[in-house]
Chains A and B, each alone.
Chain A
Amino acid sequence: MKILVPLKRVADPDNANKVKIPASGDKIETTGLEWKPNPFDEYALEAALRLTEDGKAPKTRAGEVVVVTFGPKETEPTLRAALATGADKAIRVDATDDKLDGDLVARALKTLVEREKPDVVVMGKQAVDGDSNQVGQILAELLDWPLATFAATIKEEKGALLVGREVDGGVSTLRVRLPAVVTVDLRIVAPTSVYSQKTAPAFKYNDGVRFAALPAIMAAKKKPLTEVKLADLAADQALKVQYTAFQPPPARKAGIKVKDVSELVSRLKNEAKVI
């Protein structure tokens, strides 16, 4: 099985409370923040690695994982890190973040899919900077491929994936025949979330994503990383969604600490009038 995994570099979400909006309100200032791969994309990579191996013998690859990112040269460490974690090949689409929207990324990915011919595209359900949650869905429609969003479990079957999706009110299970697009949710990296056909049903993964070992980091330097121009993938680079301004969130007024349950109850009743 060949899997394409799009990865995005984002400002460290745990530092997101430090993103600044200049007085002009024309952008979000992220300089000085640490960059990290979008967590959902890391989960997608972990899912893709699990689908292309026998959990017991993860060093023997049973398929191919190609990672791709959109960004300037500085985003290459994100790809190298993915190669060190186990991806086989990387592609950087030369682009700048503020000249992209979900539609353009999806259109460019469509061309890449046609070139690379993966069996599955596994991607994060959303990037935690833009919080848009749309690229996987748009890509699936452009390709006319079946789609399973918000995957919490994936089981490989012959020529298909059985996907448990976290939706409102419960879990919806779909069977998608390949090729297909899957977007993953948080719990896709739990110990028994993803099984390739090779991995024994009783096998349990470690919780969370795997980390690269030092020798793998060295070896990753030799793995292929190619650069593609955005214009080669999408002739029309006009954005369909444009940001005209940014604003800080509304401030909450400082609260108080109460001394005990009685004070809390009396304030909720008499002051806030919510009970």
Chain B
Amino acid sequence: MADVLVVAEAADGKLKKTTHSAVTFARQAAAALGGTYSILVIGDALGDAAAEAATLGAAKVLVAQASSLKDYVAERYVPTVAAAAKGTANADPRTSATYAVVVGTASAYGKDLLPRVAARLSAGFASDISELLPEGGKLKYKRPMYAGNAYGVCTVSTPVQVVSVRQSAFAAAEPTGSTSPIEQVAVVPPSAAAERVEFVSFDQVKSERPELTEAKVVVSGGRALKERFNEVLDPLADVLGAAVGASRAACDAGYAASDLQVGQTGKVVAPSLYIAVGISGAIQHLAGMKGSKVIVAINKDADAPIFQVADYGLVADLFATVPELAKQIQAARS
């Protein structure tokens, strides 16, 4: 029997939605392995995060809470996550378990933390998995490569496997109606590296809009919008209740916050509706949004590559079209 450990991501006393995608993966993996899954909630001032994790059908919820874990720094988290995975962090050794698969989401947090956890466990690490392919009690993983131009199927040969999953490829897990037992685990003192890293600040970009990776509708803008990025896109995003995204060129030029970048090296989104405005459609951008259900492109260049993936393409000047679109959608809805 082999069990799965989900490394949760918590912020402001709540679970982040990324955790729910990893739980969905864990349910599939545990079913394939004939085991169970547990959730590790780690940090400081965890608030309701553990209680919320306990609604997600886990065999148990492990909680590692300490003021030394305030302000996430990988070096302080890794030893505790690794110990929990090995079952050596449990307060009561009789209830400890070792985990065969450790999973988190390929968010900035998961990308930073999980490979280090793998190294500490001498485990193989497969990142950004888009599909789990169980085969005879073993796990195979499918993951995008080459900016989504190819998919590789891989196996991890070590006794413990560490993986991160692509949030847009695993639906958020819903509560099961049961409540999992909650168990405290010890916080393991960090190693030498932690002494040499100091958390300085976190400058949060405040936004009233839905998070890009969770939004049902995303309106993205490219370099063409120039300084009028928000002036043009906001009204459209408002009528659609959409998240706003951007191409790298728009971020680099400072028209949009870098946190909004959609693409191979930015965020991967898969909403029901993606509207690309003044975006050429470079492969690096397509890699982040090709999985969207319906894609609309507005571009004045009829040959722009974005039209090759768009379900509906409109060849037009965006400055005239986008306000008109916002107006007509508003009218169509009321």
Contact A247 B124 (CB under 8 A): no
Chain B 292-334, CB within 8 Å of chain A: the 1/0 string? 0111100000100001011111111000010011001100110
Instruction: Knowing A171-B202, A187-B258, A264-B325, say if A255 contacts B307 (CB, 8 Å).
Output: yes
Q: Does the CB pair B115–A137 fall under 8 Å?
A: yes
Cross-interface CB contact of A252 among B125, B127, B150, B290, cutoff 8 Å: B290
- Given A265-B329, A272-B294, residue A128 in contact with residue B146 (CB < 8 A): yes
- Is the CB–CB distance between A130 and B145 below 8 Å? yes
Q: 18 other contacts beyond A242-B157, A261-B314, A275-B332, with CB at 8 A cut-off?
A: A19-B146, A131-B143, A145-B196, A146-B193, A147-B193, A170-B204, A170-B205, A172-B202, A176-B197, A186-B252, A240-B156, A241-B125, A241-B157, A246-B153, A249-B290, A257-B312, A265-B325, A275-B333
Query: Could you list 28 examples of A-B contacts with CB < 8 Å?
Result: A13-B284, A16-B146, A16-B149, A28-B145, A106-B119, A132-B128, A137-B112, A137-B115, A140-B116, A147-B112, A150-B108, A150-B111, A166-B259, A171-B203, A172-B199, A174-B199, A177-B196, A190-B252, A240-B156, A241-B156, A242-B154, A242-B157, A252-B309, A255-B309, A265-B325, A272-B294, A274-B272, A275-B240
- Whether the Cβ atoms of B265 and A170 lie closer than 8 Å is no
Set of chain B residues within 8 Å of A83, measured between Cβ atoms: none
| A269 contacts across to B, CB distance below 8 A | 332
Main SS at interface, chain B:
mixed
In the complex, which residues of chain A have a beta carbon less than 8 angstroms from the beta carbon of B290?
249, 252
Task: Check if A258 sits within 8 Å of B125, measured CB to CB.
Answer: no
Indicate whether A260 sits within 8 Å of B112 (C-beta atoms), given known contacts A128-B146, A146-B75, A272-B294.
Answer: no
Report if A125 contacts B (CB, 8 A).
yes
| With contact pairs A166-B258, A175-B200, A241-B126 given, residues A13 and B115 touching in the complex (Cβ less than 8 Å) | no
Interface residue count for A (Cβ, 8 Å)? 84
Inter-chain contact B154/A129, CB cutoff 8 Å? no
Known contacts A125-B265, A258-B312; A141/B120 CB under 8 A: yes
In chain A, residues 119-141, which have Cβ atoms closer than 8 Å to a Cβ of chain B? 125-126, 128-134, 137-138, 140-141
State the A residues within 8 Å of B (CB): 11, 13-14, 16-17, 19, 21, 28, 40, 101-103, 106, 125-126, 128-134, 137-138, 140-150, 152, 162, 166-178, 180, 185-187, 190, 238-249, 252, 255-258, 260-262, 264-269, 272, 274-275
B248 within 8 A of A: yes
Distance in Å: Cβ of B313 to nearest Cβ of chain A: 5
Residues of A within 8 A of B259 (CB): 166, 168-170
Known: A126-B265, A267-B312. A134 touches B127 (CB 8 A): yes
The closest CB in chain B to the CB of A180 belongs to B196
Q: Which of B201, B264, B265, B272 has the most CB of A within 10 A?
A: B265
Structural contact, A149 and B273, CB atoms closer than 8 A: no
Whole-angstrom distance from the CB of A40 to the nearest CB of chain B? Answer: 8
Which residues of the partner chain B approach A174 to less than 8 Å between Cβ atoms? 73, 197-200
Q: Contact: B146 with A28, CB < 8 Å?
A: yes
How far apart sit A240 and B329, CA to CA, in the bound complex (Å)? 51
A110, closest chain B residue (CB): B119
The reply on B78 being an interface residue by CB < 8 A is yes
Within 8 A of A (CB), among B246-305: 248, 251-252, 258-259, 261, 264-265, 272-273, 282-284, 290, 293-296, 302
Closest to B74 in A: A147
Are B273 and A274 in contact (CB-based, < 8 A)?
Answer: yes
Q: Which of B125, B217, B261, B293 is within 8 Å of A102, CB to CB?
A: B125
Q: Which of A180, A257, A268 is within 8 Å of B315, CB to CB?
A: A257
The minimal Cβ–Cβ distance linking A253 to chain B, given in whole angstroms, is 8
Q: Which of A126, A173, A241 has the most CB of B within 10 A?
A: A241
Q: Which of B123, B202, B264 contacts A128 (CB 8 A)?
A: B264
Cβ contact within 8 Å between A256 and B144:
no
* Count of CB-CB pairs between chains A and B under 8 Å: 269
**Which chain B residues border A167 with CB–CB below 8 Å?**
108-109, 112
Name, among A168, A172, A175, the residue most crowded by chain B CB atoms within 10 Å (CB to CB). Answer: A168
The 3 A-B residue pairs with the shortest CB-CB distance, nearest first, are A240-B124, A137-B115, A141-B119
Closest to B271 in A: A274
Given contacts A138-B116, A268-B273, contact A131 B146 (CB under 8 A): yes
Asked whether B7 is an interface residue with its Cβ less than 8 Å from the other chain, the reply is no
Docked complex: B204-248 residues within 8 A CB-CB of A = 204-205, 217, 240, 248
Give bound CA distance, A146 to B284, whole Å.
30
For B124, the closest partner residue in chain A by CB is A240
**Chain B residues whose C-beta falls within 8 Å of the C-beta of A146 in the assembled complex:** 75, 193-194, 196-197
Q: Which of A130, A170, A248 has the most CB of B within 10 A?
A: A170
Q: How far is the CA of A249 from the CA of B143 in the complex (A)?
A: 10
Is B148 interfacial (CB 8 A cutoff)? yes
A252 to chain B, nearest CB (A): 5
> Across the interface, which residues of A come within 8 angstroms of B205, CB to CB?
169-170
B86 touches A (CB below 8 Å): no
B191 at the interface (CB under 8 A from A): yes
